[in-house]
Structure formats: structure tokens, C-alpha cells
Amino acid sequence: MNFDMDFTIPHEVAERLGYYVYLYIDPRPGKSGRPFYVGKGRGRRALAHLMDKSESDKTRVLKELSEAGLKPRIEILARSLPDGETALRIEAAVIDLLGLDNLTNLVRGSDSIELGRVPLEELIFQYTAKSVKIEHPVILIRINQQFRPDMSEEKLYDVTRGIWKLSPDRAAQAKYACAVFEGVVREVYEIKRWLPAEQLEFPTRTEDLKIQGRWGFEGRVAPNEVRSKYRGGSVAKDYFAKGSQNPIRYVNC
């Protein structure tokens, strides 16, 4: 990407902006000035994407603009925010309003899944969940970044079963896998076998998941006597330490 130095944020401007939420706008005819990326930050964060060398939908759009002799229009949506959490909440709400499918953002933002747009019945389900005791050999899999309340059963299965960085020998001890979102078990699967990610197909996922060193399982929805024991129950307090970032937790394995 070859953007000129018109893109700069003077120090005094960055100071006055404080924490902010920004948009990248596609200026091409027919795009209706639509945002293609939503971000948050402070200082010169809004310009960081112009130097991004990774392969993503965002950099693809930026490259197309550069090749057409155009620049993205960068707009500040909210500024002088009191802290980063406020910026995070606004970012999550904006991404939810515009729709992730209409943006080049990969996810709704770090930890923003719990802050964005959620059906009321989903929050009631989440906040009233009772703690459950895991009695079987189970692997708990947190899918916070991928979960959507309206996702299909097929999509939920695909985002739960892969792809993960784990010990296949340890994972093989688990008979069941629980999909966990915000500490609540959303579904329970009986594991047939674990395979390297490059040997698996994920029909409902469009991203490239053929990553060496990652694993996924083949299975099916668990029998009702097991499924009914855990589905809808909370495992947050007893099985995930506060602040833990690891999406995987082995129980009775």
C-alpha cells in the first residue's frame, strides 16, 4: 500500500482526541461512503492499519484503494471518551449495528462480545444460569468470539470443534465437548475422534482453517441424558479462573 503522508495526526490533536472510536470509509463510487472497518484507540492508532502488511479483508480493501489512486476516508465517530472500556463498548455497539458481515473486522473486538447487541431473552438465559458439576470426562471450549445467539446448529458445531491448539493425547481422554459462551454451556457434543485441522472440513466457515499444529474433532450432539445434565448450566465459577485467557479447560481427563 502506498499512501502519502497526508495521513498524520499531530501530537496536539492526538492529545485532544483522547480515547476515540473511528471508521474507515470506502470512497469509491457505488460504495455509498460505507464504513468497511470500525476501530478504537488513542493517539495515532487510527493510522496503524495503513502500515498493516498482513493478509486480511481489511488490507485487501486498502490495497484496492491504493492501486486506484484513492485513500480511505478516516472518520472519528466518538472522541474524548473517559477510558478504553467506554471506547470498547461503543465500538462493539457500532459493529453490531452495522453488521460484522458488512465490515472487514474479523471479530467484534477484544472482549466486546459481552458488551454488544444481545437479545433480551439471551441475557435472561445467561444471567439466570445455575452452576453445574461436571461428572464426565469433558473438554470445555470457550467460543466467545465466534458465538452468536441466532447461529445455526451447524455453525455452532463447526466453531466448537475447531480449530484449537491443544495436546491431542490429553484431548483424547475427553468423551464430551461442551461449547461455552460467557460461562454458560450452549451445547454438548460426543467426541468421535480428534484430527489435525488440515484434515477437517468446516462447511459453515469461510476462513482458512488449514493451520498446522491445530486440531479439531468429529462428533455429534451428545445423548440426551448427558446433554440435559450440562446444557444451559454455568461453568464460569468452578471451572474457569477469573482472567484466564485459555479457551480450553479439561475436566476429569
| Mean local confidence (pLDDT), 136-146 | 93
- Per-residue model confidence as pLDDT tens digits over 166-224: 999 999 999 999 999 989 999 999 999 999 999 999 999 888 888 889 999 999 999 99
pTM score: 0.66
**11 in Cβ contact with 29 (< 8 Å):** no
User: Going from the N-terminus, what domains does the chain have, and what CATH number goes with each?
Assistant: 11-114 (3.40.1440.10), 121-251 (no CATH)
Environment class of 240 (CB within 10 Å of its CB; exposed 0-12, middle 13-18, buried 19+): middle
Percent of the chain with pLDDT strictly greater than 70: 93
Letter for the amino acid at 87? Answer: A
> Which pLDDT value is given to residue 113?
54
Task: Pick the more confident residue, 8 or 84.
Answer: 84
